[in-house]
Amino acid sequence: MANKGLWSKGHKIKQFDIIPEGGGEPISLSGQLLGIKYFEDVIDSSIHFQIVIADTYGFLGAIPIRSSMTVHLEIEHPSVREENFKWNDDTVPLIITNISDNISDQKREVYVLTLETEHAVSNHTMRVWEKYGGKISDTVEKILTKKMEIPEDRIDIDETRNNCDFTGNYRRPLFMITSLCPKAITPNSGFLRTTKGSAGYLFYEDQDGYHFKSIDNIMDMENANIEPWQVYTVDTGKYALEDNNLSLTGTPVWTESHDILKKLRSGAYKTANYYYNIITREPVFSEYSAAESLKDLKTANEDVLIPESVSEKYSRITFGTLDNATMTPNWRGKKRETPQDQAVYQSQASARYSALFSQLCEITVPMNLNLRVGQVIELEKPRLNIEKPTQKGKDSNAGSYMIVRLAHDFGSASGDYTGISMVRDSYLPYEGR
């Protein structure tokens, strides 16, 4: 374990090279950097960098530095367990996508470079037009490896059970994959109406590549492997841990905690869904009830809060059409899915996404480059003035959370920090005083 506080002040820029258009000698600007910010988001299919550069040599105009140029970046940090934080030809290079906030005087120019991975950029020059069929997870793999030529070691895909036949209609590949997320169900789901809360996937990019992940699998705490560096403590002062690398640097802020009106508007508890089958010209009705569906749902914690006073009444009524032409109708000579099943899955997925964001908390910690969006972390929080931080589970706000957004800030005025937005779909049960 690192020394006390080292993670908040230990980064070293090993490489920051801009590769000129058409090749040539790399231009090293590592000594010109004022700050680096790195962003991941579980609902965004691309990572982002913001690099602040103080140009005292006139590189921007003399080279010139332009968008679409390639960047190689490597940062050393004591929190990294294996390789450095590295983006180059050995992993995946970065591309300058924008140059903004240009401020100049007689001595220097200060500007901000926005960077994304080369695959995120190439996504805008590709279109999915082919016909795909079979398991949704297999289709996702084909689009990423065959269409976008992303290496297999940068792809992580959870298997799906259901099939989906469709034609791309010239949509961008990353958008196409995102559109498949609410249609996908897990392999342990049953057909017809036996599925309980199994619909709903996430598609995102992090340091390691692209992920197509089931929310249920992420929240399956029975099979989770929580590492020591995924457990954070709310520092109470008196019982402060010796190593504050895994303590919060400030007070956690719950920006949302079971907003019941928002839940009602989104139909998180009970919805009535009316669909029209354009093939048979018949209406199809599907009801979603959280109290029924969440019985078998994998949740981060034990207590799923469903208010009895509102859980049995429809708070949302939706209307739509069934996409039954794209769903594979037969499986081993039998009907695999019916239009009614599709309606159930769509309803489940909508409610699953809503349930995931039941509680939203924001924290700041000493920089930890091992963290990724889509990971589950543990928050140890004692009751006020009573329990030690290591005695977790005493405060209902403690427990398991999923990281949905994070930002690594290298070289801020106060040090190196990681900002985390985390959510959960359930709570620790209240343990009285």
**% of the chain at pLDDT higher than 70:** 79
Which of residues 148 and 290 earns the better pLDDT score? 148
Residue type present at position 325: A
Instruction: Name the residue with higher pLDDT: 352 or 51.
Output: 51
Is residue 427 one of the residues assigned to a domain?
yes
> In terms of domains, do 251 and 362 share one?
yes
Q: What is the average pLDDT across 330-356?
A: 63
Considering 28-32, 297-301, 307-311, the range whose residues carry the highest mean pLDDT is 28-32
Query: Does residue 266 fall inside a structural domain?
Result: yes
Residue position matching structure tokens 């695999």: 336
What pLDDT, on the 0 to 100 scale, is given for residue 363?
A: 94
**Residues 311, 340 within the same domain:** yes
Beta-strand relationship, 27-28 and 12-19:
antiparallel
Among 93, 117, 141, the domain boundary falls at 117
Give CA–CA dist 151/238, Å, rounded.
49
The label of the residue with tokens 């949740």 reads 299
User: Where is the domain boundary, 355, 383, 400?
Assistant: 355
Residues 12 and 93 in one domain: yes
Question: What are the pLDDT digits (tens) for 188-202?
Answer: 765 444 444 477 899
Does the pLDDT value for residue 76 go beyond 60? yes
Q: Report the run of H or E that residue 423 belongs to, with start and end.
A: strand 415-424
pLDDT at 52 over 50: yes
- Residue 408 pLDDT level (bands cut at 50, 70, 90): very high
Q: Is residue 124 in a domain?
A: no
Q: Is residue 145 part of a domain?
A: no
Backbone angles phi, psi at 61, to 5 degrees: -95, -30
Q: Assess whether 299 and 366 both reside in one domain.
A: no
What predicted TM-score, i.e. pTM, was given to this entire model?
0.84
Number of folded domains in the chain? Answer: 3
What is the reported pLDDT for 433? 43
pLDDT at 369: 94
* pLDDT of 387 higher than 70: no
Strands (E), 252-292: 253-257, 270-277, 282-289
Helices (H), 87-153: 118-122, 136-142
Q: Is the pLDDT of residue 98 over 90?
A: yes
| pLDDT of 303 strictly over 70 | no
- Does 401 lie in the same domain as 350? no
Distance (Å, whole) CA 208 – CA 203: 13
The two structure tokens encoding residue 322: 């069934």
Q: DSSP string covering 178-212, please?
A: HHHGGG-B-TT--SGGG--S-B-EEEEEETTEEEE
Q: Is residue 128 part of a domain?
A: no
Among 355, 370, 397, identify where a domain stops: 355
Whether 247 is covered by a domain: the verdict is yes
Of the listed ranges 79-83, 273-277, 286-290, the least confidently predicted one is 286-290
Question: pLDDT of 9-29, one tens digit each?
Answer: 879 999 999 998 777 788 888
Q: 103 in a domain, yes or no? A: yes
Question: Residue 325's CB: how many other CB atoms inside 10 A?
Answer: 10
Kindly state whether residues 398 and 341 are assigned to the same domain.
Answer: no
Task: Say whether pLDDT at 51 is over 90.
Answer: yes
Least confident of 82-86, 188-192, 395-399: 188-192
Q: Is 84 part of a structural domain of the chain?
A: yes
Look up the domain containing 60 and give its range.
Answer: 6-117
